[in-house]
Amino acid sequence: MIRKGLAAVAAALTFAAAPAAADWAPDGPITLWIGFGAGGETDTLGRLLAKEMGAATGWDFVVENKPGGGGMAMFTQLAVTEPDGQTIGMGVTMPVLVNLTVRADEVPFDLDSFDYLGTVALAQVAIIAKADAPFDTLGELIDWSKANGGALVAFDAKPQELLMNVVNGQSDAGTRLVSTKSSAEGLQQVLGGHVQAAFNAGAHIPSMEAGDVKMLASANGQRHSYAPDVATVQEQGFDIYVDPWFYVAAPAGLADDAEAALSEAMAAALQSDALKEAIENAMNTEPSDKGPAETKAMMVDGLKNVGTLFGK
């Protein structure tokens, strides 16, 4: 009898401790704002995320594009929206963190202006070179650069340029940076022999599998899923990284049950085959949901890291 009684108490406690997601439901359609224009990766993933969240919950979702400033316009509006769970926003970490670093006094929000529901995926950023290049690691590229008047390195995003500036400053590598419009252009620059190395966020993988290019380093805070043997920039001696996460936030002040329900709906959506396939096709990686607490911690750590990129 005692064992049965304890079991009943334990079951009751377990039920009581479960998230109160089932107790919350939206009063109407949930609007997902996307901080970029139609047709891009963020828009594609955001629309599919909303669709799969709706399928998992039965809720209605409306998607609206609010482009401007790499998501800054959308997050500016989201920060002053009613925190009722009816409006959420999807963006990318790096534009937000860079703006909060270089012009914090001008940005009308900070990290505490939002409640974080979770992450969708991480764009894996690599440093690549032609397969027959006379260097296989970032350190060897640096040595080659010093001995040959400065290696040309292509980039297509400001944080990549800043990372190489840190590497140059700490190693006297003397690399010369070449701005490109996309990963695809950077890859062509490498294959054509116009630059010695380039940052790339997935366009290089088919060429890497074909043996035409190789990866010198992961520019992220962790190794890449498709190249687990290639060390990160941090592991190669430079305490810096670039992590562009796709993430979803709500205005600060969201009720606990609403946060639990929305984050659980996100987690369910990220398990769908459709979203897994879309993320694989867009970024050659898998969905990655950090959840509310870990996403907030990631933003805080990311802001410190971006400060290092800018020498702050």
| pLDDT tens track for 56-67 | 999 999 999 999
Contact criterion met (CB below 8 Å) for 238 and 169: no
Show the tokens assigned to 268: 């369910």
Spatial distance between the Cα atoms of 309 and 101, rounded to a whole number of angstroms: 10
Single out the residue of 200, 278, 198, 223 nearest to residue 246, CA to CA.
Answer: 278
What percent of the chain lies above the pLDDT cut of 70?
93
The answer, as to whether pTM is greater than 0.75, is: yes
Contact criterion met (CB below 8 Å) for 93 and 86: no
For the stretch 156-205, pLDDT in tens is 888 899 899 999 999 999 999 999 888 889 999 999 999 999 999 888 98
Strand order in 114-122's β-sheet? Answer: 61-65, 30-34, 87-92, 245-251, 114-122
Task: Produce one character per residue of 93-107: b if its CB has 16 or more CB atoms within 10 Å, e if not.
Answer: bbbbbbbbbeeeeeb
pLDDT at 22 (0 to 100): 55
Residue holding tokens 């971006």?
A: 306
For the stretch 148-170, pLDDT in tens is 999 999 998 888 998 999 999 99
Report the DSSP beta bridge partners of residue 200. Answer: 126
Q: Which residue has the higher pLDDT, 132 or 243?
A: 132
Domains of the chain: 24-123+244-309 (3.40.190.150), 126-218 (3.40.190.10)
Q: What is the mean pLDDT of the chain?
A: 90
Residue holding tokens 């088919």?
A: 206
Spatial distance between the Cα atoms of 153 and 164, rounded to a whole number of angstroms: 9
Spatial distance between the Cα atoms of 302 and 57, rounded to a whole number of angstroms: 32
pLDDT at 174 (0 to 100): 97
